[in-house]
């Protein structure tokens, strides 16, 4: 509402809903400074005044019954405004002798006027407020609920806030804020009030439990080796054999019911890291010369694991032969990857479409469309190339140490990509040494701790964290070239599928990070995540542009 003398008099609004301070349908002047007409500045625009009013009403302090408050909070604040308006915030008993209400602020419904302003303009409502305070046993001096020892302990939501605040209404704003907090907790269970701490505990428990299970079942903590330790060997050396490298796809495992057993291999081709209870264990004590090795019984049953390559838990070979009942001719050509091998100066090779189809049949996927295999191989190769590019980026960051990595990470993800491009253009990318892929393992049925946490958060907050679980997981073991020598680092890759493009093309997301096998890996992940957060929160990009 604009008065005739506007802009030399302030515009006004009328409140139509209860708040914690203003009377409904009261005419309020818009002057920013305590809504007082005399403080209005004609130079203010209406938009400026409304922005100030909006910020005042949406304050987290809930002093005016914020529009963002819940229904319970507004109920408490509206109930408290009845005591506030009729008593002047409890000042009706503390009027100074010789001081009239006008001198104490009769023009505003505020603490200190004894409720005169409200009583003068709304006498009927003032009588109703005093009746309400008597019926609900509200102390008119402090605003606290006077307990009734003969009554039940339950009370209405409007008066619960008064009963639960031990310090009464002083200071005035603090009392209203306390009422808002009480109302916010009304109707909430223990889990809702402590959901932040529960989330932290769940994340910590998942990480701890996953790490413990990994150490128990993979590293073999509880299978002590009673024999003397063998001579230390280089980490994860590949078997020395005259045979060609396994042609199988390095990114997936296969566990058919009865695969063909691999050829016998001697101790020189065995994996040096194994426990006596492992299916890959080979007795290290050589037999005397001239003693023939006893032949194994023909009906000896070997476990499935004993028939797999111990370096990657894959079959020693995948056939290129046409499968029974196959009606589509599939290519036998294998595409070389850009991923260097850890045991040779060559790169890994991807499987041919025929090998991919045979591998899927071994896994039991007999309903695989034969005409879609070549497209599946193309997507498979594309995803793995992208995964290796991200691993190389991690290696370039931290191969020279945490200090060098932090120099780049502290400037955010955008500068990490920029530094990678500069290194490739200047030829400095190879100074840190090219990482090599030692071995790999597909574990599609084992969710990573991070994926489990995301699924738990998606269950608790589906609107924000809801997503499908990853459709695949890989563990890649990479040989890092550091100034102190070679070091093995395990990377974990989660494969997610997203909504397809408008053109119908599929969308995939890869979450790649070092596994938390050591404190160093945890620091690396914290540096990369924390560096990007710090760069954006501190306005680093803005400062950098301003400096240029």
DSSP state string for 283-302: --SPPPTT-PPPPPPTTPPP
Q: Residue 500 half-sphere exposure, CB side, CA atoms within 13 Å? A: 5
Cα–Cα distance, 219 to 305 (Å, whole number): 16
* Contact call for residues 271 and 310 (beta carbons, < 8 A): yes
State the burial class of residue 409 (Cβ atoms within 10 Å of its Cβ: 0-12, 13-18, 19+).
buried
Cα–Cα distance, 108 to 102 (Å, whole number): 10
Which residues on adjacent β-strands are paired with residue 510?
495
Cα–Cα distance, 127 to 133 (Å, whole number): 10
Classify the C-alpha dihedral 190-196-199-201 as positive or negative.
Answer: negative
Distance of CA 296 to the CA centre of its chain: 53
Least confident residue range of 40-54, 440-454, 526-540: 40-54
The proportion of the chain whose per-residue pLDDT surpasses 90, expressed as a percent, equals 5
Cα–Cα distance, 406 to 548 (Å, whole number): 23
382: its two tokens: 């594309």
**CA nearest to 63, candidates 175, 207, 157:** 175
Mean pLDDT on 387-411: 86
> Does residue 159 have a pLDDT over 80?
no
> Does residue 331 have a pLDDT over 50?
yes
The proportion of the chain whose per-residue pLDDT surpasses 70, expressed as a percent, equals 50
Q: Is the peptide bond before 165 cis (omega within 30 degrees of 0)?
A: no
Confidence of residue 545 (pLDDT cuts 50, 70, 90): low
How far is the CA of 422 from the CAs of 73, 283, 339, 535, 536, in angstroms? 56, 51, 21, 20, 22
Residue 414 has what pLDDT?
75
Residue written as token pair 């400026």 = 48
Write out pLDDT tens, residues 435-469.
Answer: 999 988 888 888 898 988 888 888 888 887 788 88
**Helix extents (H) in 298-364:** 353-362
Per DSSP, the chain holds a count of helices (H) and strands (E) of 16, 10
State the burial class of residue 6 (Cβ atoms within 10 Å of its Cβ: 0-12, 13-18, 19+).
middle
**CA nearest to 249, candidates 377, 435, 400, 373:** 377
Confidence of residue 513 (pLDDT cuts 50, 70, 90): very high
473: three-class secondary structure by DSSP:
strand
Residue 168 has what pLDDT?
40
Residue 499 has what pLDDT?
84
**CA nearest to 352, candidates 338, 371, 336:** 336
Residue 475 has what pLDDT?
92
Cα–Cα distance, 315 to 282 (Å, whole number): 19
- 519-537 vs 402-409: helix axis angle to the nearest 10? 20
Mean pLDDT on 326-333: 86
Cα–Cα distance, 409 to 523 (Å, whole number): 12
Write out pLDDT tens, residues 197-227.
Answer: 888 888 888 777 766 666 554 444 434 344 4
Write out pLDDT tens, residues 258-292.
Answer: 444 444 444 433 343 334 443 333 444 444 444 44
Cα–Cα distance, 418 to 422 (Å, whole number): 6
State the burial class of residue 187 (Cβ atoms within 10 Å of its Cβ: 0-12, 13-18, 19+).
exposed
**Helix extents (H) in 335-372:** 353-362
In which element (H, E) is residue 520 found?
helix 519-537
How far is the CA of 141 from the CAs of 20, 133, 144, 300, 379, in angstroms? 18, 11, 8, 92, 75
Confidence of residue 490 (pLDDT cuts 50, 70, 90): very high
> Does residue 328 have a pLDDT over 50?
yes
Cα–Cα distance, 144 to 508 (Å, whole number): 59
DSSP one-letter code for 269: G
Write out pLDDT tens, residues 80-104.
Answer: 777 877 887 766 654 444 444 444 4
252: its two tokens: 């997936």
- 373-398 vs 353-362: helix axis angle to the nearest 10? 90
Cα–Cα distance, 384 to 442 (Å, whole number): 12
55: three-class secondary structure by DSSP:
helix
Per DSSP, the residues of 377-430 read HHHHHHHHHHHHHHHHHHHHHHTT-HHHHHHHHTTHHHHHHHHHHHHHHHT-TT
Residue 81 has what pLDDT?
76
Active-site amino acid positions = 29
Cβ neighbours of residue 469 under 8 Å, at least 6 residues apart?
A: 447, 451, 455
**CA nearest to 32, candidates 46, 22, 19:** 46
**Helix extents (H) in 224-372:** 353-362
């Amino acid at each position: 509402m604009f008065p005739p003398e506007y802009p030399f008099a302030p515009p006004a609004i009328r409140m139509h809903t209860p708040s914690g301070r203003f009377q409904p349908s009261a005419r309020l002047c818009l002057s920013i400074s305590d809504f007082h007409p005399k403080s209005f500045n004609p130079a203010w625009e209406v938009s400026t005044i409304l922005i100030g009013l909006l910020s005042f009403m949406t304050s987290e302090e809930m002093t005016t019954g914020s529009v963002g408050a819940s229904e319970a909070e507004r109920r408490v604040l509206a109930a408290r405004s009845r005591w506030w308006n009729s008593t002047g915030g409890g000042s009706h008993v503390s009027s100074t002798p010789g001081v009239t209400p006008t001198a104490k602020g009769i023009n505003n419904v505020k603490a200190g006027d004894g409720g005169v302003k409200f009583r003068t303009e709304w006498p009927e409502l003032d009588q109703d407020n005093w009746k309400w305070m008597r019926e609900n046993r509200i102390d008119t001096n402090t605003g606290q609920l006077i307990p009734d020892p003969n009554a039940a302990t339950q009370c209405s939501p409007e008066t619960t806030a008064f009963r639960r605040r031990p310090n009464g209404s002083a200071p005035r704003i603090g009392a209203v804020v306390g009422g808002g907090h009480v109302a916010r907790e009304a109707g909430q269970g223990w889990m809702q009030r402590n959901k932040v701490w529960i989330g932290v505990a769940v994340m910590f428990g998942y990480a701890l439990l996953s790490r413990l299970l990994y150490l128990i079942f993979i590293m073999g903590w509880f299978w002590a080796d009673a024999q003397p330790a063998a001579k230390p060997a280089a980490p994860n050396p590949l078997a020395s054999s005259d045979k060609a490298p396994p042609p199988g796809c390095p990114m997936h495992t296969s566990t058919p019911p009865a695969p063909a057993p691999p050829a016998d291999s001697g101790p020189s081709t065995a994996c040096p890291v194994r426990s006596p209870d492992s299916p890959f264990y080979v007795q290290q004590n050589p037999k005397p010369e001239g003693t023939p090795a006893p032949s194994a019984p023909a009906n000896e049953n070997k476990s499935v694991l004993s028939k797999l390559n111990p370096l990657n838990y894959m079959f020693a070979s995948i056939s290129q032969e046409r499968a029974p009942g196959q009606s589509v001719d599939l290519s036998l050509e294998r595409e070389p990857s850009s991923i260097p091998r850890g045991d040779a100066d060559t790169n890994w090779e991807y499987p041919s479409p025929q090998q991919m189809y045979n591998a899927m049949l071994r896994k039991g996927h007999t309903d695989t469309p034969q005409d879609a295999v070549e497209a599946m191989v193309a997507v498979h190769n594309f995803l793995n190339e992208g995964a290796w590019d991200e691993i190389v980026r991690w290696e370039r960051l931290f191969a020279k140490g945490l200090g060098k990595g932090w120099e780049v990470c502290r400037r955010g993800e955008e500068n990490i990509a920029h530094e990678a491009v500069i290194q490739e253009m200047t030829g400095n990318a190879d100074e840190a040494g090219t990482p090599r892929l030692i071995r790999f393992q597909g574990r599609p049925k084992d969710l990573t701790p991070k994926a489990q946490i995301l699924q738990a958060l998606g269950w608790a907050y589906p609107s924000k964290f809801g997503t499908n679980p990853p459709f695949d997981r890989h563990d890649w073991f990479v040989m890092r070239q550091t100034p102190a020598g070679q070091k093995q680092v395990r990377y974990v890759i989660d494969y997610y599928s997203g909504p397809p493009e408008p053109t119908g093309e599929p969308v995939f997301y890869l979450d790649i990070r070092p596994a938390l096998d050591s404190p160093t890996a945890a620091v690396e992940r914290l540096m990369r995540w924390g560096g990007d957060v710090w760069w954006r929160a501190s306005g680093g990009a803005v400062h950098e542009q301003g400096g240029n």
